[in-house]
Chain A
Amino acid sequence: MTLLLNIAVDGVAYGMILFMIAVGLSVTMGLMRVVNLAHGGFALIGGTLAHWLGTEVGLPFALVLLGAVAGTIVIAMPLERLVYRRIYGFGELQQVLATIGLTFLMIASVNLWQGSSLLSITLPEGLNRSVDLGFRQLTAHRALVIGVGALVILGLWLLLDRTRFGIRLRAAVDNRDTASALGIDTGRIYMLTFALGAGLAALGGILGAELLPIDAYYPLRYMVLFLIVVAIGGLGSILGSFVAALAIGMIETASRYLVPDMATITFFAIVILFLALRPRGLMGRVGA
């Protein structure tokens, strides 16, 4: 029983991280129909900025978080304009190549600036304290991760369901041409969505550094993991990504607890089996 609860708590925390990082990828891929392999790069950029702001500049954690996320968005916006906007119309192979190229450039830049070793992110004292859950101790940091993840899904739901931007975004995901024919400025929506996705990836990258440690090769190491969340959730579906991320968090955590030697293989086997049976994922509207 305790084991199950442990798996549930750790799995949820891990799932929240995956969700924050991958949700932007899912929405941009559903919206812009672009195969983006560089998305993990934004988590890397966020993590690197956080490392720098925390250890070298010495800001307090709240400001580190804010500054790193904002910094990532500032970097992401021009990239959308300069690279992504040009490849929307390209074939999928060209998109794969362009975003691989971008990934390589991100890795090389981070290495040039901060080197290739592990980039630690200093947490404030308070987050290292543990909370007693009765059956186990949970660090305040994990509790924070779960809390922020919940806030993010709530915020996204409000944004999509309750704002004009959300209505337009959903219209554009459903049908891009109709949306622009209706006078919706899809270019602006693309950019804002992209920036939001990159910002969330940075947030997830920083908060998740304990589970997915940050170093220059981060975007390559976890590329498949993030893509799996998107493919299982279904392109363009936020709820799908959320469910998929939690499920993947649980499955991975469970296989680590239960079959530590075969964890990766078990995990991939389940994923491949699922996608073979449901190639469009849980809630895919768009054919992958």
Chain B
Amino acid sequence: MTGRLLSIFLILAAGAAAYLLFPYNLAFLTRILIMIVLVLSLDLILGLAGIATLGQAAMYGAGAYAAGLFAIHVWADPVAGLLAGAVAGALLAAVSGAVLMRTQGLTLIMLTIAVAQICAEIANRARGVTGGADGLRGIRPGKVLGLWEFDFIGITGYWYAFAVMLLVFLALAIIARSPFGLSLRGIHESPERMVAIGVSVYRRRLAAYTMGGAIAGIAGALSAQITQLVSLESFSFTLSAEALIMLILGGTGRLYGAILGTVIFMAVHHVAAANDPFNWLFVIGALVLVVVFFLPRGLVALPVSLKRLAKGGRHAGT
């Protein structure tokens, strides 16, 4: 319990410090927070349950469009919008997962990419509803909890996203230690054994995938409300791939790896991509290869890896 309090305190302190140090970059900091929520959702699915996916953007996009449309047509309340995003993400994950969770390996990875592409295609065709390639515009979220209006400097947006991120982090920290979380780790380690102790692995994986979908949907909803725009890019392969890279960079299965990886990745991106997106591809390509070959367990394992290296051992593969 003290560990949990300490991590909450550290995250709060980091959030406040970032706010004070970079008051003119709040939009960027908020993007990081949204990305952290997405990467956390991936950590539940991939880090805990071991479900390899390259299509997390599907649920992110679904959440974004759902929250955007909800705000335009139903109710502008941001918290209700988050809920709409979560429901949309969970629904998409449950429906697609019903098929996807029966497959594994290459087929699974490929189908997760395909689902995101289908979503993008549908959003593109349904121009009348989604705005197609122009994106969904005209989202005007109301006051957060009826108290705080979204301001153009982004102060409300920042703290709103921060609060959502912290809540998601805490919920996942609780789930990770729960019997359900333990069973997901069990499935990750040995699905055969899980069946042998009487568990329907398919149903457990589907439940995890759906939960991850809800959280990705929340991330999408946040982005729709704060940027007041949803574009087809929300479904892009690049977004799924980058989320995966951030997670692996930080280290899987430990939640704070997701935070660390996202912050570092986004910071490097900010610097490297400032002038030319293609240069950025050089940086990210090289970064990924470095992580795979030299840091297979991510930055959170760096101290251990260094110690092993000092002892003259080989790097730890997984």
Contacts and interface: CB of A to CB of B under 8 A. Distances in A.
Direct contact of A and B (CB under 8 A): yes
Interface of A: 29, 35, 83, 86-87, 89-94, 96-98, 100-105, 107-109, 111-112, 116, 216, 220, 223-224, 227-228, 230-231, 235, 261-262, 264-265, 268-269, 271-272, 275-276, 279, 281, 287-288
Interface in B89-111: 99, 102-107, 109-111
Interface string B265-301: 0000000000000110110111111011100100000
B57 interface: no
Most buried by A among B107, B115, B238, B281: B107
Contact of A97 (B114, B117, B278, B292): B292
Contact of B110 (A104, A107, A227): A227
Contacts of B248: 93, 97
Given A97-B248, A107-B278, A108-B278, A279 B289 contact: no
A10 B287 CA distance: 42
B125 interface: yes
Contact of B279 (A92, A108, A223, A264): A108
A92 B54 CA distance: 12
A220 B110 contact: no
A112 B292 contact: no
Q: Is the interface of B mostly helix, strand, loop or mixed?
A: helix
Contacts of B289: 83, 98, 101-102, 105
A98 B245 CA distance: 10
A78 to B, nearest CB: 15
Interface in B67-123: 99, 102-107, 109-111, 113-115, 117-118, 121-122
Nearest to B50: A93
B155 interface: no
B52 interface: yes
A268 B281 contact: no
B279 A228 contact: no
B170 interface: no
Contacts, number: 132
Given A87-B292, A275-B111, A235 B106 contact: yes
Contact of B285 (A108, A116, A231, A288): A108
Given A97-B292, A272-B111, A287 B121 contact: no
Contacts of B106: 29, 35, 92, 227, 230-231, 235, 288
Contacts of A89: 317
B318 A91 contact: yes
Given A97-B244, A272-B99, A105 B286 contact: yes
B110 A97 contact: no
B105 A94 contact: no
Given A97-B292, A108-B282, A227-B110, 6 more contacts: A102-B289, A231-B106, A264-B117, A268-B117, A279-B104, A288-B104
A107 B286 CA distance: 12
Contacts of B278: 107-108, 111-112, 116, 216
Contact of B292 (A29, A98, A103, A268): A98
Contacts of B105: 35, 92, 287-288
B245 A224 contact: no
